[in-house]
Amino acid sequence: MTLMKAADLSGLPISNACAEAAAGYDAYAREFLSYGSALRDLFKIADETPGSALLNAHAAALHLAFEGAEGWAHAAPYLTRMRRAEGSATDRERLFAAAVESWAARDYWRALGALEELTVRWPADLCAIKWGQYHAFNLGDHQALLRFGERARIVFEDHPYAHGMIAFALEQNHRLDEAEEEGLRATEIALDDAWAHHAVAHVMETQGRAKDGARWLDHCSHTWDRKGVFIRDHNWWHAAVFRISLGRTDEALAIYDAKLWGAWPEFPQEQIGAVSMLWRLEMRGLDVGARWAPVLEQVRRRAGEHILPFHDLHYLYALARAGAAGEAAAFLASLNRHAEGAEDPYKSFWRDTGLPAARAVNAFAAGDYEKAAEGFGAALPTLAQVGGSHAQRHLFVEAYERAAAQTGRAARR
Protein backbone atom coordinates (compact mmCIF):
# COMPACT_ATOMS: atom_id res chain seq x y z
CA MET A 1 0.00 0.00 0.00
CA THR A 2 1.18 3.53 -0.79
CA LEU A 3 0.72 5.75 2.26
CA MET A 4 -1.09 9.07 1.93
CA LYS A 5 -3.54 11.21 3.85
CA ALA A 6 -6.66 9.22 4.64
CA ALA A 7 -9.83 9.77 6.61
CA ASP A 8 -12.69 7.62 7.84
CA LEU A 9 -16.33 8.08 6.81
CA SER A 10 -16.83 10.67 9.55
CA GLY A 11 -13.98 12.76 8.17
CA LEU A 12 -11.60 11.95 11.02
CA PRO A 13 -8.00 11.58 9.80
CA ILE A 14 -6.06 8.34 9.96
CA SER A 15 -2.33 9.00 10.00
CA ASN A 16 0.05 7.03 7.79
CA ALA A 17 -2.75 5.13 6.06
CA CYS A 18 -3.92 4.90 2.48
CA ALA A 19 -7.49 5.05 1.15
CA GLU A 20 -7.66 1.26 1.11
CA ALA A 21 -6.66 1.07 4.78
CA ALA A 22 -9.23 3.76 5.65
CA ALA A 23 -11.91 1.73 3.88
CA GLY A 24 -10.82 -1.28 5.90
CA TYR A 25 -11.14 0.74 9.09
CA ASP A 26 -14.64 1.84 8.12
CA ALA A 27 -15.60 -1.79 7.49
CA TYR A 28 -14.21 -2.68 10.91
CA ALA A 29 -16.15 0.18 12.52
CA ARG A 30 -19.41 -1.09 11.10
CA GLU A 31 -18.66 -4.64 12.22
CA PHE A 32 -17.66 -3.43 15.68
CA LEU A 33 -20.73 -1.27 16.20
CA SER A 34 -23.09 -3.92 14.81
CA TYR A 35 -21.40 -6.87 16.61
CA GLY A 36 -20.62 -8.41 13.23
CA SER A 37 -18.66 -11.58 12.64
CA ALA A 38 -15.88 -10.14 10.43
CA LEU A 39 -13.96 -8.12 13.03
CA ARG A 40 -10.81 -10.12 12.43
CA ASP A 41 -10.46 -8.53 9.00
CA LEU A 42 -8.93 -5.53 10.78
CA PHE A 43 -5.82 -7.53 11.67
CA LYS A 44 -4.83 -7.84 8.01
CA ILE A 45 -5.34 -4.10 7.48
CA ALA A 46 -3.21 -3.30 10.53
CA ASP A 47 -0.52 -5.78 9.46
CA GLU A 48 -0.31 -4.05 6.09
CA THR A 49 -0.22 -0.58 7.69
CA PRO A 50 2.41 -0.84 10.44
CA GLY A 51 2.94 2.94 10.52
CA SER A 52 -0.63 3.68 11.59
CA ALA A 53 -0.94 4.10 15.35
CA LEU A 54 -4.74 4.14 15.16
CA LEU A 55 -5.19 0.94 13.16
CA ASN A 56 -2.73 -0.97 15.31
CA ALA A 57 -4.28 0.39 18.50
CA HIS A 58 -7.70 -0.87 17.42
CA ALA A 59 -6.22 -4.24 16.47
CA ALA A 60 -4.65 -4.48 19.94
CA ALA A 61 -7.98 -3.49 21.52
CA LEU A 62 -9.79 -6.30 19.72
CA HIS A 63 -7.34 -8.82 21.12
CA LEU A 64 -7.55 -7.37 24.64
CA ALA A 65 -11.34 -7.59 24.44
CA PHE A 66 -11.01 -11.38 24.31
CA GLU A 67 -10.68 -10.92 28.10
CA GLY A 68 -8.22 -13.77 28.58
CA ALA A 69 -4.44 -14.07 28.76
CA GLU A 70 -4.29 -15.13 25.12
CA GLY A 71 -5.67 -11.74 24.14
CA TRP A 72 -2.79 -9.95 25.87
CA ALA A 73 -0.28 -12.19 24.09
CA HIS A 74 -1.85 -11.62 20.67
CA ALA A 75 -2.09 -7.87 21.27
CA ALA A 76 1.65 -7.51 21.91
CA PRO A 77 2.89 -7.01 18.31
CA TYR A 78 0.15 -4.46 17.61
CA LEU A 79 1.02 -2.58 20.78
CA THR A 80 4.65 -2.47 19.65
CA ARG A 81 3.70 -1.00 16.28
CA MET A 82 1.29 1.43 17.93
CA ARG A 83 4.05 2.77 20.19
CA ARG A 84 6.47 3.18 17.30
CA ALA A 85 3.91 5.12 15.28
CA GLU A 86 2.65 7.46 17.98
CA GLY A 87 5.19 10.16 17.11
CA SER A 88 3.47 10.86 13.80
CA ALA A 89 -0.09 10.38 15.11
CA THR A 90 -2.73 13.06 15.69
CA ASP A 91 -3.80 14.09 19.18
CA ARG A 92 -6.97 12.01 18.83
CA GLU A 93 -5.00 8.95 17.79
CA ARG A 94 -2.55 9.43 20.65
CA LEU A 95 -5.41 9.59 23.13
CA PHE A 96 -6.83 6.35 21.80
CA ALA A 97 -3.37 4.77 21.97
CA ALA A 98 -3.06 5.98 25.57
CA ALA A 99 -6.35 4.29 26.41
CA VAL A 100 -5.18 1.02 24.88
CA GLU A 101 -1.81 1.32 26.62
CA SER A 102 -3.55 1.71 29.99
CA TRP A 103 -5.89 -1.17 29.15
CA ALA A 104 -2.90 -3.40 28.39
CA ALA A 105 -1.48 -2.42 31.80
CA ARG A 106 -4.88 -3.36 33.31
CA ASP A 107 -5.42 0.18 34.50
CA TYR A 108 -9.01 0.31 33.30
CA TRP A 109 -9.87 3.56 35.08
CA ARG A 110 -7.05 5.36 33.28
CA ALA A 111 -8.20 3.87 29.97
CA LEU A 112 -11.69 5.14 30.66
CA GLY A 113 -10.33 8.62 31.43
CA ALA A 114 -8.46 8.81 28.12
CA LEU A 115 -11.60 7.79 26.21
CA GLU A 116 -13.64 10.38 28.12
CA GLU A 117 -11.27 13.13 27.01
CA LEU A 118 -11.12 11.84 23.45
CA THR A 119 -14.88 11.66 22.96
CA VAL A 120 -15.54 15.06 24.51
CA ARG A 121 -13.14 16.58 21.99
CA TRP A 122 -14.10 14.34 19.05
CA PRO A 123 -17.67 13.08 19.53
CA ALA A 124 -17.68 11.91 15.91
CA ASP A 125 -15.40 9.03 16.91
CA LEU A 126 -18.18 6.51 17.46
CA CYS A 127 -15.76 3.60 17.88
CA ALA A 128 -14.05 5.42 20.76
CA ILE A 129 -17.47 6.06 22.30
CA LYS A 130 -18.26 2.35 22.07
CA TRP A 131 -14.93 1.38 23.64
CA GLY A 132 -15.60 3.95 26.36
CA GLN A 133 -18.91 2.26 27.11
CA TYR A 134 -17.13 -1.08 27.20
CA HIS A 135 -14.81 0.08 29.99
CA ALA A 136 -17.53 1.98 31.85
CA PHE A 137 -19.64 -1.18 31.87
CA ASN A 138 -16.82 -3.38 33.15
CA LEU A 139 -16.10 -0.86 35.92
CA GLY A 140 -19.74 -0.54 36.92
CA ASP A 141 -19.68 3.20 36.15
CA HIS A 142 -23.22 3.64 34.87
CA GLN A 143 -23.02 7.44 34.80
CA ALA A 144 -20.03 7.23 32.45
CA LEU A 145 -21.91 4.67 30.37
CA LEU A 146 -24.66 7.23 29.86
CA ARG A 147 -22.26 10.12 29.23
CA PHE A 148 -20.75 8.20 26.34
CA GLY A 149 -24.20 7.32 25.04
CA GLU A 150 -25.33 10.94 25.12
CA ARG A 151 -22.23 11.98 23.17
CA ALA A 152 -23.31 9.63 20.42
CA ARG A 153 -26.44 11.77 19.99
CA ILE A 154 -24.38 14.83 19.09
CA VAL A 155 -23.34 13.52 15.68
CA PHE A 156 -25.20 10.25 15.18
CA GLU A 157 -28.88 10.92 15.89
CA ASP A 158 -30.06 8.77 12.97
CA HIS A 159 -26.98 6.59 12.57
CA PRO A 160 -27.30 2.81 12.66
CA TYR A 161 -26.28 1.33 16.02
CA ALA A 162 -25.98 4.63 17.91
CA HIS A 163 -29.45 4.39 19.44
CA GLY A 164 -28.73 0.89 20.73
CA MET A 165 -25.74 2.28 22.59
CA ILE A 166 -27.89 5.02 24.13
CA ALA A 167 -30.69 2.58 24.98
CA PHE A 168 -28.53 0.25 27.05
CA ALA A 169 -26.95 3.15 28.92
CA LEU A 170 -30.39 4.51 29.79
CA GLU A 171 -31.53 1.10 31.02
CA GLN A 172 -28.53 0.69 33.27
CA ASN A 173 -29.40 4.10 34.75
CA HIS A 174 -33.00 2.98 35.43
CA ARG A 175 -34.53 5.26 32.79
CA LEU A 176 -36.56 2.37 31.47
CA ASP A 177 -39.25 4.02 29.34
CA GLU A 178 -36.65 6.12 27.53
CA ALA A 179 -34.45 3.06 27.08
CA GLU A 180 -37.22 1.05 25.46
CA GLU A 181 -38.11 3.94 23.15
CA GLU A 182 -34.47 4.31 22.07
CA GLY A 183 -34.10 0.57 21.57
CA LEU A 184 -37.17 0.38 19.37
CA ARG A 185 -35.98 3.42 17.42
CA ALA A 186 -32.65 1.66 16.91
CA THR A 187 -34.36 -1.35 15.34
CA GLU A 188 -36.33 0.93 13.04
CA ILE A 189 -33.04 2.28 11.72
CA ALA A 190 -31.25 -1.10 11.63
CA LEU A 191 -33.32 -4.23 12.18
CA ASP A 192 -30.16 -6.20 13.00
CA ASP A 193 -29.08 -3.96 15.92
CA ALA A 194 -28.48 -6.83 18.32
CA TRP A 195 -27.31 -4.49 21.09
CA ALA A 196 -30.65 -2.68 20.85
CA HIS A 197 -32.44 -6.05 21.02
CA HIS A 198 -30.41 -6.64 24.16
CA ALA A 199 -31.26 -3.23 25.67
CA VAL A 200 -35.01 -3.71 25.18
CA ALA A 201 -34.74 -7.19 26.70
CA HIS A 202 -33.12 -5.63 29.77
CA VAL A 203 -36.02 -3.21 30.13
CA MET A 204 -38.54 -6.02 29.93
CA GLU A 205 -36.67 -8.12 32.46
CA THR A 206 -36.36 -5.22 34.90
CA GLN A 207 -40.09 -4.57 34.59
CA GLY A 208 -40.97 -8.23 35.12
CA ARG A 209 -42.29 -8.64 31.57
CA ALA A 210 -40.84 -12.10 30.99
CA LYS A 211 -43.43 -13.15 28.42
CA ASP A 212 -42.89 -9.94 26.42
CA GLY A 213 -39.13 -10.42 26.68
CA ALA A 214 -39.20 -13.99 25.42
CA ARG A 215 -41.39 -12.98 22.49
CA TRP A 216 -39.22 -9.95 21.71
CA LEU A 217 -35.99 -11.92 21.55
CA ASP A 218 -37.60 -14.75 19.58
CA HIS A 219 -38.77 -12.11 17.11
CA CYS A 220 -35.25 -10.66 16.77
CA SER A 221 -33.22 -13.87 16.88
CA HIS A 222 -33.24 -14.53 13.14
CA THR A 223 -30.72 -11.69 12.73
CA TRP A 224 -28.16 -13.11 15.17
CA ASP A 225 -26.77 -15.93 13.04
CA ARG A 226 -24.68 -13.38 11.14
CA LYS A 227 -23.32 -11.83 14.34
CA GLY A 228 -20.22 -12.50 16.41
CA VAL A 229 -20.16 -15.12 19.13
CA PHE A 230 -20.46 -12.70 22.06
CA ILE A 231 -23.76 -11.04 21.19
CA ARG A 232 -25.22 -14.24 19.77
CA ASP A 233 -24.47 -16.14 22.98
CA HIS A 234 -25.47 -13.28 25.23
CA ASN A 235 -28.84 -12.56 23.65
CA TRP A 236 -29.70 -16.25 23.76
CA TRP A 237 -28.63 -16.20 27.42
CA HIS A 238 -31.25 -13.51 28.02
CA ALA A 239 -33.81 -15.61 26.14
CA ALA A 240 -33.02 -18.50 28.49
CA VAL A 241 -33.33 -16.23 31.56
CA PHE A 242 -36.82 -15.25 30.43
CA ARG A 243 -37.73 -18.94 30.18
CA ILE A 244 -36.49 -19.45 33.74
CA SER A 245 -38.67 -16.56 34.93
CA LEU A 246 -41.65 -18.21 33.22
CA GLY A 247 -40.90 -21.52 34.94
CA ARG A 248 -39.91 -23.16 31.65
CA THR A 249 -36.54 -24.44 32.83
CA ASP A 250 -36.57 -27.32 30.35
CA GLU A 251 -36.65 -24.77 27.52
CA ALA A 252 -33.85 -22.79 29.15
CA LEU A 253 -31.73 -25.94 29.31
CA ALA A 254 -32.48 -26.65 25.65
CA ILE A 255 -31.30 -23.13 24.76
CA TYR A 256 -28.15 -23.78 26.78
CA ASP A 257 -27.39 -26.93 24.81
CA ALA A 258 -28.17 -25.44 21.41
CA LYS A 259 -26.93 -21.86 21.78
CA LEU A 260 -24.92 -21.14 24.92
CA TRP A 261 -22.13 -23.67 24.95
CA GLY A 262 -19.89 -25.03 22.25
CA ALA A 263 -19.56 -22.22 19.71
CA TRP A 264 -16.26 -21.02 21.20
CA PRO A 265 -15.60 -22.73 24.55
CA GLU A 266 -12.21 -21.01 24.92
CA PHE A 267 -13.90 -17.59 24.96
CA PRO A 268 -14.22 -16.23 28.54
CA GLN A 269 -17.59 -14.67 27.82
CA GLU A 270 -18.98 -18.04 26.76
CA GLN A 271 -17.53 -19.55 29.92
CA ILE A 272 -19.10 -17.05 32.31
CA GLY A 273 -22.43 -17.25 30.49
CA ALA A 274 -22.40 -21.02 30.91
CA VAL A 275 -21.52 -20.80 34.61
CA SER A 276 -24.24 -18.24 35.19
CA MET A 277 -26.91 -20.30 33.43
CA LEU A 278 -26.05 -23.62 35.06
CA TRP A 279 -25.95 -21.97 38.49
CA ARG A 280 -29.38 -20.40 37.94
CA LEU A 281 -30.89 -23.66 36.76
CA GLU A 282 -29.49 -25.61 39.70
CA MET A 283 -30.85 -23.06 42.17
CA ARG A 284 -34.26 -23.97 40.76
CA GLY A 285 -33.70 -27.63 41.36
CA LEU A 286 -32.88 -28.69 37.82
CA ASP A 287 -30.40 -31.54 37.32
CA VAL A 288 -27.93 -30.29 34.69
CA GLY A 289 -26.17 -33.65 34.47
CA ALA A 290 -22.59 -33.67 33.27
CA ARG A 291 -22.70 -30.16 31.79
CA TRP A 292 -20.28 -28.74 34.37
CA ALA A 293 -17.39 -30.93 33.23
CA PRO A 294 -16.50 -29.20 29.91
CA VAL A 295 -16.99 -25.80 31.50
CA LEU A 296 -14.62 -26.71 34.33
CA GLU A 297 -12.03 -27.89 31.79
CA GLN A 298 -11.96 -24.39 30.27
CA VAL A 299 -12.31 -22.39 33.49
CA ARG A 300 -9.38 -24.03 35.27
CA ARG A 301 -7.14 -22.56 32.55
CA ARG A 302 -8.09 -19.07 33.78
CA ALA A 303 -6.55 -19.55 37.22
CA GLY A 304 -4.29 -16.65 38.12
CA GLU A 305 -5.33 -14.36 35.24
CA HIS A 306 -7.55 -11.99 37.26
CA ILE A 307 -8.37 -9.81 34.29
CA LEU A 308 -11.91 -8.85 35.28
CA PRO A 309 -13.43 -9.40 38.75
CA PHE A 310 -16.85 -10.27 37.31
CA HIS A 311 -15.23 -13.17 35.48
CA ASP A 312 -13.28 -14.24 38.57
CA LEU A 313 -16.48 -14.72 40.57
CA HIS A 314 -17.86 -17.05 37.91
CA TYR A 315 -14.61 -18.99 37.52
CA LEU A 316 -14.41 -19.47 41.28
CA TYR A 317 -17.96 -20.76 41.50
CA ALA A 318 -17.38 -23.25 38.68
CA LEU A 319 -14.28 -24.63 40.40
CA ALA A 320 -15.99 -24.91 43.78
CA ARG A 321 -19.29 -26.25 42.43
CA ALA A 322 -17.63 -28.90 40.27
CA GLY A 323 -15.86 -30.35 43.29
CA ALA A 324 -12.41 -28.99 42.55
CA ALA A 325 -12.09 -27.75 46.14
CA GLY A 326 -8.31 -27.60 46.08
CA GLU A 327 -8.33 -25.59 42.86
CA ALA A 328 -11.01 -23.28 44.24
CA ALA A 329 -8.95 -22.66 47.39
CA ALA A 330 -5.86 -21.96 45.28
CA PHE A 331 -7.87 -19.59 43.06
CA LEU A 332 -9.17 -17.72 46.12
CA ALA A 333 -5.64 -17.48 47.56
CA SER A 334 -4.38 -16.13 44.24
CA LEU A 335 -7.20 -13.60 44.23
CA ASN A 336 -6.21 -12.47 47.72
CA ARG A 337 -2.61 -11.94 46.58
CA HIS A 338 -3.86 -10.02 43.55
CA ALA A 339 -5.96 -7.78 45.81
CA GLU A 340 -3.08 -7.16 48.21
CA GLY A 341 -0.88 -5.99 45.34
CA ALA A 342 -3.47 -3.64 43.88
CA GLU A 343 -3.45 0.12 44.18
CA ASP A 344 -6.49 2.34 44.74
CA PRO A 345 -9.19 2.45 43.52
CA TYR A 346 -8.75 -1.28 42.90
CA LYS A 347 -7.42 -2.03 46.39
CA SER A 348 -10.48 -0.45 48.03
CA PHE A 349 -12.76 -2.30 45.64
CA TRP A 350 -11.24 -5.67 46.47
CA ARG A 351 -11.29 -5.02 50.20
CA ASP A 352 -14.88 -3.77 50.42
CA THR A 353 -16.61 -5.61 47.57
CA GLY A 354 -14.58 -8.04 45.48
CA LEU A 355 -13.13 -10.30 48.18
CA PRO A 356 -16.31 -10.49 50.30
CA ALA A 357 -18.20 -11.47 47.15
CA ALA A 358 -15.56 -14.07 46.21
CA ARG A 359 -15.66 -15.63 49.68
CA ALA A 360 -19.45 -15.70 49.50
CA VAL A 361 -19.41 -17.41 46.10
CA ASN A 362 -16.97 -20.03 47.35
CA ALA A 363 -18.98 -20.61 50.53
CA PHE A 364 -22.28 -20.91 48.64
CA ALA A 365 -20.84 -23.57 46.33
CA ALA A 366 -19.56 -25.47 49.37
CA GLY A 367 -22.94 -25.28 51.12
CA ASP A 368 -21.73 -22.96 53.87
CA TYR A 369 -24.75 -20.68 53.76
CA GLU A 370 -23.86 -18.74 56.90
CA LYS A 371 -20.59 -17.50 55.37
CA ALA A 372 -22.26 -17.03 52.00
CA ALA A 373 -25.00 -14.83 53.45
CA GLU A 374 -22.46 -12.82 55.43
CA GLY A 375 -20.20 -12.24 52.41
CA PHE A 376 -23.00 -11.41 49.99
CA GLY A 377 -24.59 -9.11 52.55
CA ALA A 378 -21.33 -7.15 52.79
CA ALA A 379 -20.72 -7.01 49.03
CA LEU A 380 -24.14 -6.41 47.51
CA PRO A 381 -24.53 -2.69 48.33
CA THR A 382 -21.55 -1.86 46.11
CA LEU A 383 -21.56 -4.90 43.83
CA ALA A 384 -22.12 -2.76 40.72
CA GLN A 385 -18.38 -2.06 40.87
CA VAL A 386 -17.66 -5.69 39.99
CA GLY A 387 -18.99 -5.05 36.48
CA GLY A 388 -21.73 -6.81 34.56
CA SER A 389 -25.31 -5.67 34.14
CA HIS A 390 -28.16 -5.55 36.65
CA ALA A 391 -29.51 -8.75 35.12
CA GLN A 392 -26.17 -10.55 35.33
CA ARG A 393 -25.52 -9.48 38.92
CA HIS A 394 -28.98 -10.58 40.01
CA LEU A 395 -27.49 -14.07 40.16
CA PHE A 396 -25.63 -13.00 43.30
CA VAL A 397 -28.78 -11.47 44.76
CA GLU A 398 -30.56 -14.79 44.25
CA ALA A 399 -27.70 -16.69 45.86
CA TYR A 400 -27.75 -14.28 48.81
CA GLU A 401 -31.49 -14.68 49.30
CA ARG A 402 -31.23 -18.47 49.18
CA ALA A 403 -28.29 -18.50 51.59
CA ALA A 404 -30.12 -16.15 53.96
CA ALA A 405 -33.23 -18.34 53.83
CA GLN A 406 -31.16 -21.40 54.66
CA THR A 407 -29.78 -19.70 57.76
CA GLY A 408 -33.05 -18.16 58.86
CA ARG A 409 -31.81 -14.60 58.52
CA ALA A 410 -33.75 -11.95 56.65
CA ALA A 411 -32.12 -10.93 53.40
CA ARG A 412 -31.28 -7.23 53.20
CA ARG A 413 -31.85 -5.54 49.85
How far apart (Å, rounded) are the C-alpha atoms in residues 80 and 145? 30
What's the pLDDT score for residue 325?
81
Q: What is the DSSP string of 273-340?
A: HHHHHHHHHHHTT---TTTHHHHHHHHGGGTTT---HHHHHHHHHHHHHTT-HHHHHHHHHHHHHHHH
Which among 258, 281, 261 is positioned nearest to 273, based on CA atoms? 261
Of the chain, the percentage scoring pLDDT greater than 70 comes to: 98
The mean per-residue pLDDT over the stretch 177-190 comes to 98
Q: What are phi and psi of 208, to 5 degrees?
A: 75, 25
6-15, 109-118, 290-299, 316-325: the lowest-pLDDT one: 316-325
2 pLDDT above the threshold of 50:
no
Q: What is the DSSP letter of 15?
A: E
pLDDT mean over 297-317: 97
pLDDT digits (tens, 9 = 90+) for 211-237: 999 999 999 999 999 999 999 999 999
270-280 pLDDT, tens digit per residue, is: 999 999 999 99
Average pLDDT over residues 156-180: 96
pLDDT at 290: 96
d(CA 153, CA 150): 5
Average pLDDT of the residues in 331-348: 95
Q: Helices (H), strands (E): how many in the chain?
A: 22, 2
3-state SS, residue 5: strand
64 has pLDDT over 70: yes
* pLDDT at position 113: 98
Residue 203 has φ and ψ, to the nearest 5°, of -60, -45
Q: Between the CA of residue 117 and those of 111, 114, 153, 350, what are the distances in Å?
A: 10, 5, 17, 27
Asked whether the predicted pLDDT for residue 191 surpasses 50, the reply is yes
Angle at which helix 126-138 crosses helix 162-172, to 10 degrees, equals 20
Compute CA distances 273 → 123, 147, 315, 401, 410, whole Å. Answer: 33, 27, 11, 21, 29
Strand partners, 6: 14
What pLDDT is stored for residue 323 in this prediction? Answer: 82
3-state secondary structure of 4: strand
Q: What is the pLDDT of residue 236?
A: 98
Average pLDDT, the chain: 96
399-410 pLDDT, tens digit per residue, is 999 999 999 765
pLDDT band at 267 (very low <50, low <70, confident <90, very high): very high
Indicate the length of the chain as a whole number.
413
Question: Looking at residue 1, what is its pLDDT?
Answer: 44
Which of 129, 126, 71, 77 is closest to 103 using CA atoms? 71
Residues 122-145 have pLDDT tens digits of 999 999 999 999 999 999 999 999
- Please report the pLDDT score of residue 124 as a whole number: 97
